[in-house]
Structure 1
Amino acid sequence: MVKLAENERVDYMYSDNLKIIQDKDAFSFSLDTLLLAAQAKAKIHEHDKVADLCAGNAAASIYMAYFNNAKYDAVEIQEEVASQARRSVALNQMENRITIYQKNVKDAGQFLQKDSYDEVVVNPPYFKVPQGHEVNPDRKKAIARHELLINLEKIIEVASGLLKMKGKLFMVHRPERLGEIAYYCLKHDLSIKMVQPYVSHRGDDSNLIIIEAVKHTAGDGLVLRDAIVVHDADGEYLPAIQEVIRESPKAKKIHDEGAKYYFYVLLCQDGSFYGGFTTDLKHRLKMHNSGKGAKYTKTRRPVKMIYHEEFTNKNLALKREYWFKHHSREWKEDFLKAQGISF
């Protein structure tokens, strides 16, 4: 069972498919995070390696991971926010695919492997801090919004260092800083290939952009896309935005009617644990207790099923099984206790 602090709540993303822990009084994820994640996930392949810098409570990583089997490393400097990220990842059963580092992005090259990431996703602080400028008195909000601990160039430099050849950087930012972004990208071997502007209403100036840059490639070929309009005249989200924040009825129907796969945990007669995969929990338990389930459980009967998780993707369930099996006994006990399981 994931515990919440007194000032925390659980919110939902992409309809009610994804859970995210947020501080009631601090900086929560917003639409720009989901727009960035949606733009990036369209280019992420099943076995890619993705770094999420300035990750906050890992909303972008959790959103992207819902659509693929890629591996994510998310970096967030603030201790409380990183804790929210870890617990949010656990709420969504993604611990085997998303790793949270409570570190400074400046130092990412020291704990993440350089030249190894297929994509780097960044939602950085948007604003500089000129001398004498007043920032938000809430330190957590100020760090999220202003370049107090890292600046734009350093973020781009670190991202470039992590990316492999032809790897892609996705960044959301303010359009008034596009010139700086382009300059620092070129300086650090990244070429911007796409700029996607967003406007609140048709006819407004753009108030948000997402850029896609590629490492070590020619500097030409940039595509400036037509602006995506966020709101209609009544202030409601338009269809392009609805697709990002809510699961469509068609997608939900496919999801609901799809096959179900399970990762499960058995408590064996000798007190040991066994993690497995199945499409039928009742039948699988019967097979284990008849001696036909697995070599390991054959000599440790009777066994009791004490925990299971449901997936609509076979690979995710299998990865979850592999992840569980390759941890120590102590870790498995802690994991099960955290789910409220007594044994």
Structure 2
Amino acid sequence: MTEPNIHEGERLDGLPSQEVKVIQNPDMFAYSLDAVLLAYFANPNKKGRGRTVDLGAGTGAVGLFYAKKVTGSVTLVEIQEELAAMAKRSVRLNGLEDRVSVIHADMQEVFDQIKPGSVDTVLCNPPYFPIKEKTKQNEDEHYQIARHEVAIDLPKLAQTANKLLKNKGKFFMVHRPERLGDIFAALTDRGLEIKHLQFVYGKADREANMVLVEAIKQGRSGGVRILPPIIAYTADNQYTEQVQTILYGKAWTLD
């Protein structure tokens, strides 16, 4: 790992289990547990030897965490120039320039740089909240794009993932359980059949606040499997043993 190139207002965060450091600016946007769990959940074809694209990569957290458990190439696509620049510095910091690259572009306009139908796996931690007349949006542009469907919505995301993926390629996403109806409609209408769901609970006695989704391009319809849940915190607000292992345990391996 090289010496970090940290700018004013930035900080260095990391994931000990994967031995990855990520440069972030909390005034713009910073990753949280959902990014870690998406990278952990993603179980690609070909034992990770194929090409992966992380759409809406932000500072690169998902793609960088995931890259350490696969051997194939990973491309991070990010529309915001400042976040893409931070991701590039994090790639260098972690010594992953040989396998991880960053494209500063709108994901819907990336096909001149990534050939349609050439990707084995697509990852995405998209904006969770739809734009509605009464939606209360954060005034900061970086947070608006990251949290609200300003630049991309679920149908357009599904169409982009479908266009990038090879037949039988996999799509992995983290989202909110209350959007499951929209998620199923957007993905299945665009040739992405949902195969696995895993719900994440803040605490065992609360409703799920995240859902991890795996879909396959041109997969057979039906046969959705619900994986055992992930519980994030104990009653006294400490990480559960399950999450402690994900964050601080041995390096992740593919099934």
Q: TM-score, normalised by structure 1?
A: 0.70
Deviation at 1:246, TM superposition (A): 1.2
| Match runs of 1:62-73 below 5 Å | 62-73=64-75
Cα separation, 2, equivalents of 1:227 and 1:41: 16
| Match runs of 1:202-221 below 5 Å | 202-221=204-223
Cα separation, 2, equivalents of 1:198 and 1:89: 28
CA contact (8 A) 1:41 1:64 kept: no
Q: Quick one: which amino acid aligns to residue 137 of structure 2?
A: V
| SS of equivalent residue, structure 2 residue 59 | coil
| SS of equivalent residue, structure 2 residue 85 | helix
Cα separation, partners in 2 of 1:112 and 1:27, compared to 1, 3 Å:
same
1:124-183 residue CA offsets vs partner (Å, 9 max, x unmatched):
000011124331011111111011111111011100111111111000000111111111
Cα separation, 2, equivalents of 1:247 and 1:138: 35
| Match runs of 1:128-143 below 5 Å | 128-143=130-145
Q: Quick one: which amino acid aligns to residue 161 of structure 1?
A: K
Deviation at 1:88, TM superposition (A): 0.3
Which residue matches 2:186?
Answer: 184
| SS of equivalent residue, structure 1 residue 6 | coil
Cα separation, partners in 2 of 1:144 and 1:30, compared to 1, 3 Å:
same
| Match runs of 1:41-60 below 5 Å | 41=43, 45-60=47-62
- Give the counterpart of 1:79 among 65, 78, 81: 81
* Relative contact order, higher structure (CA 8 A, sep 6+): 2
Cα separation, 2, equivalents of 1:206 and 1:132: 24
Q: Quick one: which amino acid aligns to residue 65 of structure 2?
A: Y
CA contact (8 A) 2:18 2:65 kept: no
Cα separation, 2, equivalents of 1:197 and 1:78: 29
Structure 2, unmatched stretches of 5+, are: none
Larger radius of gyration: 1
| SS of equivalent residue, structure 2 residue 212 | strand
CA contact (8 A) 2:45 2:120 kept: no
Moved over 6 A (4+): none
| SS of equivalent residue, structure 2 residue 249 | coil
Q: Quick one: which amino acid aligns to residue 148 of structure 2?
A: H
Deviation at 1:239, TM superposition (A): 1.8
Which residue matches 1:21?
Answer: 23
Q: Quick one: which amino acid aligns to residue 89 of structure 1?
A: V
Q: What RMSD over aligned residues (CA atoms) do the two structures have, in Å? A: 1.7
CA contact (8 A) 1:165 1:216 kept: yes
Q: Quick one: which amino acid aligns to residue 223 of structure 1?
A: R
1:178-209 residue CA offsets vs partner (Å, 9 max, x unmatched):
11111111111111001100111112111100
Q: Quick one: which amino acid aligns to residue 148 of structure 1?
A: V
Q: Identity rate of aligned residues, in percent?
A: 36
| SS of equivalent residue, structure 1 residue 38 | helix
| SS of equivalent residue, structure 2 residue 110 | helix
Do structure 1's residue 3 and structure 2's residue 5 form an aligned pair?
yes
1:45-94 residue CA offsets vs partner (Å, 9 max, x unmatched):
24211010010111111111112211011100001100000000000000
Q: How many residues align?
A: 250
Cα separation, 2, equivalents of 1:22 and 1:197: 27
| SS of equivalent residue, structure 1 residue 85 | helix
| SS of equivalent residue, structure 1 residue 67 | coil
Which residue matches 2:106?
Answer: 104
Which residue matches 1:38?
Answer: 40
Cα separation, 2, equivalents of 1:156 and 1:70: 23
| SS of equivalent residue, structure 1 residue 198 | strand
1:246-299 residue CA offsets vs partner (Å, 9 max, x unmatched):
134xx69xxxxxxxxxxxxxxxxxxxxxxxxxxxxxxxxxxxxxxxxxxxxxxx
Cα separation, 1, equivalents of 2:101 and 2:54: 10
Which residue matches 2:201?
Answer: 199
Which residue matches 2:158?
Answer: 156
| SS of equivalent residue, structure 1 residue 45 | helix
Q: Quick one: which amino acid aligns to residue 125 of structure 2?
A: N
Cα separation, partners in 2 of 1:202 and 1:91, compared to 1, 3 Å:
same
Q: TM-score, normalised by structure 2?
A: 0.93
Structure 1, unmatched stretches of 5+, are: 253-343
